[in-house]
Structure 1
Amino acid sequence: MEPEALDYQKVIDDALKLLYSQHHRLMNRLYPAAVQQLSLEQLRQGPLGQVLQRLAAVAQGKISENRERTLEAIELVLQMLFWAPGAEDYSVPRSFWETDLGRLLSLAKFRAYEPSELLSIGSAAQQLGVTRPTIYRWMDERKLEYVRDEMSGRTFVVREDVEQLRRQQESA
């Protein structure tokens, strides 16, 4: 399905409902009197709903915004989805990027970079003198920032991260 053809409102609503149901379940166990029922419209108007709407607009190319702001918004959403209470960190399963929400975030992230700021997986592996599986492992470990171009299906790593790793290798 073409990224522009996605019903981003449904994707956003599904994410809000998922996160709200998790929050509701936790709050019911923590302090039931504090639980307030919220409508979908209220969730849409809340901070997370607004962030998701903005990211959808970036993904669709309707707005352009500062890269840092886009990346911070994506990080916020990923943390809310995958950072379990009590955990020291979180990881995003690769399969997430195949979901509609993953595609939305991926496209917004891809649009945050200029093509010259990205390298193919093969090029990154060659420049670092490692194998492609090592690059994928470093992506999973968040040593290398990466983006996926939903149009071509290709994954790219951020050139600046590759150059930083190369400098680290040379100084070691």
Structure 2
Amino acid sequence: MAYKNREWLSWLKVIIISSIIAFGIRAFVFAPIIVDGPSMLPTLENDDHLIVNKMEYVFSDPDRFDIVVFHATRNKDYIKRVVGLPGEHIAYQNEILYINGQPYTEPFLSSRLNQLQEGSHYTHDFTLEDLPGEYEEIPDGHVLVLGDNRSNSTDSRVIGLIPIDRIVGVATFRYWPFNQLGLIH
């Protein structure tokens, strides 16, 4: 009888320790997220299942074009792409991103832009001053985010600049659907 009690206690310890480790990884290192809505098309689709790396920004700042998850409200997280970084001025004109007056290409939008009919717009023209807050440059500790589906995205054009401390992490890996399994770009 004593042997069975020791074996049961041994299994209980393994289960408890495993649960603590799993909780720690989930809380501090990686987290699953499910894409909700069309705002990141064509890069991400509604109901894509992703892994978010929560440790990425512990030792570094967001990079341009990272796909990040952030707390938009107390109860809602959004997933968007970082377009503008602290100290920069952002503008869009005639489907071209300008950062501090220099044009930048957005390769993840090239297929959509190539399909545009003459006279139509994918990203309507705007400047940083047009956004909530009316900034002349992105202040320290903030980023400008946009959805890849520019005509159907609630992003910095509507909600303003995002404080970096509200970023949960960077979306790094898609695990569902299986036919799109892999790293996210």
Does the TM-score normalized on the shorter chain lie above 0.5?
A: no
- The structure carrying a bigger helix percent of its residues is 1
Choose between structure 1 and 2: higher strand proportion. 2
Q: Which structure is higher in RCO with an 8 Å CA cutoff and minimum separation 6?
A: 2
TM-score norm. by structure 1 comes to: 0.25
> Larger Rg: 1 or 2?
2
